Amino acid sequence: MHKSDLITSKKLLKKGEVIIFPTETVFGIGADATNSKAINRIYSIKKRPKNNPLICHFKHLTEVKKHFKMNELELKLAKLYWPGPLTLILTKKESSNISLNLSNNTPYIGSRIPQNKIALSLLKAVDFPIAAPSANIATKTSVTHYSDIDEKLKKKVFTLKGRSKLGLESTVIQVKNKTINILRLGSITEEEIKKKFKKIKIKKIPYTKLSPGNQKKHYSPNLPIRINVKKVKNDEVLLNFGKNKLSSKIFGLNLSESGSLVEASRNFFHYLHILDKCKCKGIAVATIPLKGLGKTINDRIKRASINK
């Protein structure tokens, strides 16, 4: 990032404007988390319903502790995964000036420290946390490459170039009654959390309003999607995975020919954007194993394939 871009970003954020920037998970559209009008701008630009909360980004753990109560297990998770793709739902202290506009007027706010140089430079340049959901129009596909950002958004919002290393959103967790509740599958797998916290009860809680990205229809391209296909129709393009006999008469991309779920995660949203621009009737998606990061990819594909 050029120094001039950082100066421009800092000025805009301090004025209550929004900017688009990369994180290690996906691109975010961010604003001052303590400014209610700025938060409302994010919702308006994204056409996002206000009951779908935003994630608050911080530069370091000391900042998080200033704003939130944290118990022993929450601190353990934070120290293990931050900076990184973990979002913790934490209870806001009464002394915190973070706007409740970003959390549907509840004191429970998703917080994380990103592991991306540009994102961290931004956070260190300002004296407030940055609230940022994914940089896309509501229900549409998340963005991991600068080139995939909606042109209408780029015209409205100052955008920093870059790309996301991981390709899938953060894993959202809430600690409740000494239980780790996974509210949204993400870049940290359920299996990994279970391995690290063998003595702690771990539960998956689907479709909770406390977590962002939990609408039934979400992450959707413009073209309709068919999942777990056995055969590709003549008028479909193909999002493939691994080695198989599937092929498209129009065009196809393979998330990972070697069957790597890490590689597939990195390519997933970018490939969906490319296929969505093809002249065809729909996108056929090959079966992706329901394990590790494959669970997260399947979660996104399932939501993307819902019509309503």
Q: Domains in the chain, start-ordered, CATH in brackets? A: 3-167 (3.90.870.10), 225-304 (3.40.50.11030)
* Tens-place pLDDT, residues 213-258: 666 556 678 899 999 999 999 999 999 999 999 999 999 999 999 9
Q: Give the global pTM.
A: 0.94
As a three-state string, the secondary structure of the chain is: CCHHHHHHHHHHHHCCCCEEECCCCCCEEEEECCCHHHHHHHHHHHCCCCCCCCEEECCCHHHHHHHEECCHHHHHHHHHHCCCCEEEEEEECCCCCCCHHHHCCCCEEEEECCCCHHHHHHHHHCCCCEECCECCCCCECCCCEHHHCCHHHHHHCEECCCECCCCCCCEEEEEECCEEEEEECCCCCHHHHHHHCCCCEEEECCCCCCCCCCCCCCCECCCCEECCCCCCCCCEEEEECCCCCCCCCCCEEECCCCCCHHHHHHHHHHHHHHHHCCCCCEEEECCCCCCCHHHHHHHHHHHHCCCC
Q: What is the pLDDT of residue 117?
A: 96
* Tens-place pLDDT, residues 142-174: 999 999 999 999 999 999 999 899 999 999 999
Q: What is the pLDDT of residue 20?
A: 97
pLDDT at 274 over 70: yes
Among 173, 134, 175, 156, CA closest to 24: 134
Among 110, 116, 293, CA closest to 214: 110
Provide the sign of the torsion angle of the four alpha carbons 194, 198, 204, 205, taken in this order.
negative
Looking at residue 8, its amino acid is: T
Structural tokens at position 159: 């955008």
pLDDT at 139 over 80: no
pLDDT at 136 over 60: yes
Q: What is the pLDDT of residue 218?
A: 62
Q: What is the pLDDT of residue 248?
A: 97
Q: What is the pLDDT of residue 213?
A: 65
* Tens-place pLDDT, residues 53-84: 999 999 999 999 999 999 999 999 999 999 99
Q: What is the pLDDT of residue 301?
A: 92
Average pLDDT, whole number, for the chain?
94
